[in-house]
Amino acid sequence: MFNNNKNQRMSEEELSNSSNIIGKGSTLEGNIESFGNIRVEGRIIGSVKSKSKIALGQSSYVDGNIIAQNAEVAGEVKGKIKISELLILKPSAVINGDIITNKFIVESGAAFNGSCKMGVAQAEIKIGENGQSKEEKKQPKVETTR
């Protein structure tokens, strides 16, 4: 009613300052989405999506896709990686999947098996119900009979 877009933007900014950690020895089965940073030291069986940064430590393992603004990978990923700004692969990184990013740094020792597209403009990262904004949600079909 009173400028909902401004309130929504403010809350997204506040949420982007949050940090989430999946600790070493932890296993998460399912997808994770966040406006804030995500740090993974454990295992995730599912996709990881963030409007901020995703950091995968040396002990991390992700079996799923990764979508973020920025990412730093030192662990293992089995899936597609889509980064809208900068992707850094540390020496201990092992990637088995395709990479789409704007800028890419591969440090000596990192292993990467898949295709790579660089300089690609990414669409906005959507967080929410299955990554769809309110406008994109499928409207229920209404049939009228006469």
DSSP code string of the chain: ---HHHHHHHHHHHHHT-EEEE-TT-EEES-EEESSEEEESSEEES-EEESSEEEE-TT-EEES-EEEEEEEE-SEEES-EEEEEEEEE-TT-EEES-EEEEEEEE-TT-EEES-EEESPPPPPPP-SGGG--TTTSPPPP-----
Quote the CA–CA distance of 34 and 125 in Å, as a whole number: 10
This prediction's pTM: 0.76
- The residue behind tokens 């704007």 is 102
Which pLDDT value is given to residue 60?
96
On the question of pLDDT at 136 being above 60, the answer is no
CB 53 within 8 Å of CB 35: no
pLDDT band at 102 (very low <50, low <70, confident <90, very high): very high
On the question of pLDDT at 119 being above 70, the answer is yes
Which pLDDT value is given to residue 3?
55
On the question of pLDDT at 9 being above 60, the answer is no
Model pLDDT for residues 57-97, shown as the tens digit of each residue: 999 999 999 999 999 999 999 999 999 999 999 999 999 99
Model pLDDT for residues 28-55, shown as the tens digit of each residue: 999 999 999 999 999 999 999 999 999 9
